Amino acid sequence: MIRVQAENFDVGAEINALSQGNTAIGGICSFVGLVRDFQHTKEDTNRVSAMTLEHYPGMTEKKLVEIEQIARKRWDLEDVLIIHRYGRMEPGENIVLVVTASAHRKVAFESCEFLMDFLKTKAPFWKLEEDDTGAGSWVDAREADNTAALKWKDQSV
Amino acid sequence: MKILYFAWLRTKIGCAEEEIELPNTVQTVGEVLDYLRSKGGAYADSLGDDKVIRVALNQEYAQQDDKVSNADEFAIFPPVTGG
């Protein structure tokens, strides 16, 4: 299941809801992405005071559904949950949650990593960082994210 | 054709969405981008060769040679940075 929402989510409640009543699940893996209050470089003294996530309504949901379908085809999953927020959020707040549930841990771990790698390169979200001076700057895409997504191509699982 | 802009393309071009009537000669994704660049100003700047942009046609990632029509939804945006 996928959800795209402005409001925050409760990680524990989401995981409990997903596992409730499904006793075929032997392992659950979750990844939570948070807004961090970081410096880009040692010289950069401006800290991120807030982040605004913009997205492409319609295409976002479509891509997340596709990514979930790819994972379900590739791994034997009991359940999948992807929640991604949009709008303005402050350091410490949740941005994204990916939960995978399976009979065994390897499948849960691998598929969770795969979902995050794919989401980061395919789902149409853009981060605008606001620093403590109030200035905003769009975050650049990282080559490392593309490399991470590509590794799933040649690896048979 | 409905054209959507996101992230810095939206702020630079100054609108999130606009409707443009394509000339008959414009038939591919690459030609739509050329047509927009020919409008000059922020269009030419934002869509210049030095910029890295992505295009989605009807909410699917598109390539330069993909065919377009006036009924399509054409979105232009920078590489994604979610997660």
> Could you tell me if residue A155 is inside a domain?
no
Tens of pLDDT, residue by residue over B4-20, are 999 999 999 999 999 99
For chain B, the residues whose C-beta falls within 8 A of a C-beta of chain A are 4, 6-8, 10, 52, 56, 59-61, 75, 77-83
Separation between Cα atoms, residue A74 and residue A106, nearest integer Å: 13
Taking contacts as CB-CB distances below 8 angstroms, the residues of chain A near B61 are 122
> Could you tell me if residue A141 is inside a domain?
yes
Out of B4, B56, B80, the one facing A141 most closely (by C-beta) is B80
Q: Please, what sign has the CA dihedral across residues A59, A64, A65, A67?
A: positive
pLDDT recorded at residue B46:
95
Instruction: Give the domain extent around A64.
Output: 2-150
Q: What is the CATH number of the domain that holds A83?
A: 3.90.1170.40
Going from N- to C-terminal start, the domains of chain B cover 2-77
> Could you tell me if residue A143 is inside a domain?
yes
Q: Which CATH number is B2-77 given?
A: 3.10.20.30
* Cβ-defined contacts of A58-64 (< 8 Å, 24+): A58/B59, A59/A124, A59/B56, A59/B59, A59/B60, A59/B75, A60/A4, A60/A84, A60/A123, A60/A124, A60/A125, A61/A2, A61/A4, A62/B59, A62/B60, A63/A122, A63/A123, A63/A124, A64/A2, A64/A4, A64/A119, A64/A123
Name the domain count of chain A.
Answer: 1
Beta-carbon separation of A56 and B59 below 8 A: yes
Question: Is the separation of the CB atoms in B79 and A141 below 8 Å?
Answer: yes
Q: How far apart are the first and last CA of chain A?
A: 22
Out of B8, B10, B77, the one facing A124 most closely (by C-beta) is B77
In order along its 157 residues, chain A shows pLDDT tens digits of 999 999 999 999 999 999 999 999 999 999 999 998 876 666 666 778 899 999 999 999 999 999 999 999 999 999 999 999 999 999 999 999 999 999 999 999 999 999 999 999 999 999 999 887 878 899 988 888 888 888 888 654 4
Question: Is the separation of the CB atoms in B27 and B67 below 8 Å?
Answer: yes
Out of A54, A95, A116, the one facing B6 most closely (by C-beta) is A54
Chain A and chain B share a number of CB contacts under 8 A equal to 72
Question: Is the separation of the CB atoms in A53 and A87 below 8 Å?
Answer: yes
pLDDT recorded at residue A156:
45
Beta-carbon separation of B83 and A125 below 8 A: yes
